[in-house]
C-alpha cells in the first residue's frame, strides 16, 4: 500500500475527513515525514486535530532544517574545493 494512502486511511479511521488526510500528506511530502507522522498517530493516538497539526509543524520544521543543513554542507564543500584549487602565496616566484 502506498504510504500516502496509508496515512490518509489512518486519519479516516480516527474519524477525520479524507481532505484533512490529503492536506496533511501534501504538506509532509516525503516518505520519511509520512512514516514519522504515522508513527506519531499510532503511538500517541491524538484526540484533537490541533495535536496532529502541532506534530505536522514539528515534522516539517525538522525536515526543512535538515534540507538547509545539507544545502549548507554542499555549498561549503564547493567553497572549500575552490579555496584548495587556488595557488598559495608560497607558489609565487
pLDDT tens, residue by residue, 5-24: 999 999 999 999 999 999 99
Cβ neighbours, 10 Å, residue 72: 10
Domain that holds residue 53: 3-85
In a domain, 91, yes or no: no
With a cut of 70, say whether residue 93 has pLDDT above it: no
In a domain, 26, yes or no: yes
This prediction's pTM: 0.78
In a domain, 76, yes or no: yes
pLDDT score at 18 = 96
Domain tally, the chain? 1
- What is the C-alpha R_g of the chain? 21
Cβ neighbours, 10 Å, residue 12: 13
In a domain, 90, yes or no: no
Q: Rounded to an integer, what distance in angstroms lies between the CA atom of residue 82 and that of residue 84?
A: 5
Q: Rounded to an integer, what distance in angstroms lies between the CA atom of residue 12 and that of residue 86?
A: 59
Amino acid at each position: 500500500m502506498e504510504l500516502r494512502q496509508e496515512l490518509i486511511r489512518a486519519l479516516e479511521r480516527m474519524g477525520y475527513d479524507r481532505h484533512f488526510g490529503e492536506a496533511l500528506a501534501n504538506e509532509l511530502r516525503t516518505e520519511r515525514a509520512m512514516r514519522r507522522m504515522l508513527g506519531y498517530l499510532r503511538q500517541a493516538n491524538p484526540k484533537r486535530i490541533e495535536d496532529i497539526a502541532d506534530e505536522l509543524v514539528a515534522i516539517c520544521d525538522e525536515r526543512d532544517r535538515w534540507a538547509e543543513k545539507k544545502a549548507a554542507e554542499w555549498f561549503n564543500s564547493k567553497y572549500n574545493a575552490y579555496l584548495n584549487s587556488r595557488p598559495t602565496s608560497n607558489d609565487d616566484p
